[in-house]
């Protein structure tokens, strides 16, 4: 927990306390995940399981490891848990002033779907509710394998 708290404090001006983490993780539907490199925790996320969605509560990568694909891999882990039959979306909130997080999540396919006025009690700051929606495969896509037309033309000649 100390490494997670260090990442949290260095990532956010208004950071979670150890009690905030423990309180969330005690919930039956809440899951915590860490990313380790050489036995050092370099990132973490806390998310909840809901009926049709996963909800990210907290997400951070240690500053010296940012922009190296760690966050992308963490989001991909969540995307891999989605299915059309059960949970098909990921939701999270981002502070209005946290432009780097907004841009990161947008680059991963999230869209801002709502402004939550005075969402954060510590600052009365607004937040954006961002959502990633699993795309459904189109019915019209009859996949029979990839065929290279140039190769077929060459073989016929």
Burial class (CB in 10 A: 0-12, 13-18, 19+), 140: exposed
pLDDT in tens, 90-101: 999 999 999 999
1 to 11, 21, 78, 150: CA distances (angstroms) = 15, 9, 22, 57
The SS3 of residue 17 is coil
pLDDT in tens, 101-119: 999 999 999 999 999 999 9
The pLDDT value recorded for residue 121 is 86
Measured from the Cβ of residue 130, the count of other Cβ atoms closer than 10 Å reads: 22
Fold of 2-156: Aminopeptidase (3.40.630)
DSSP string, 40-52: EEEEEEEEEE-SS
Contact 87, 49 (CB under 8 A): yes
Over 70: is that where the pLDDT of 151 sits? no
**Whole-model pTM?**
0.84
The pLDDT value recorded for residue 136 is 73
The pLDDT value recorded for residue 138 is 61
152 — pLDDT class (breaks 50, 70, 90): low
pLDDT in tens, 29-71: 999 999 999 999 999 999 999 999 999 999 999 999 999 999 9
DSSP string, 106-145: HHTT-EEEEEETT--TTT---EEEEEEEPPPPPTT-----
Rounded to an integer, what distance in angstroms lies between the CA atom of residue 24 and that of residue 73? 23
């Amino acid at each position: 927990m100390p490494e997670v708290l260090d990442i949290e404090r260095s990532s956010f001006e208004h950071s979670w306390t150890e009690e905030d983490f423990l309180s969330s993780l005690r919930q039956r539907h809440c899951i915590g995940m860490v990313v380790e490199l050489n036995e050092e925790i370099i990132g973490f996320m806390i998310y909840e399981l809901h009926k049709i969605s996963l909800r990210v509560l907290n997400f951070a990568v240690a500053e010296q490891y940012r922009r190296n694909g760690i966050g992308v891999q963490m989001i991909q882990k969540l995307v891999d848990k989605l299915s059309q039959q059960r949970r098909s979306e990921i939701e999270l909130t981002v502070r209005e002033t946290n432009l780097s997080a907004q841009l990161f999540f947008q680059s991963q396919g999230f869209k801002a779907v709502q402004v939550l006025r005075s969402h954060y009690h510590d600052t009365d700051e607004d937040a954006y509710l961002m959502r990633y929606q699993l795309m459904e495969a189109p019915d019209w896509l009859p996949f029979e394998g990839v065929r290279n037309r140039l190769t077929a033309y060459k073989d016929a000649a």
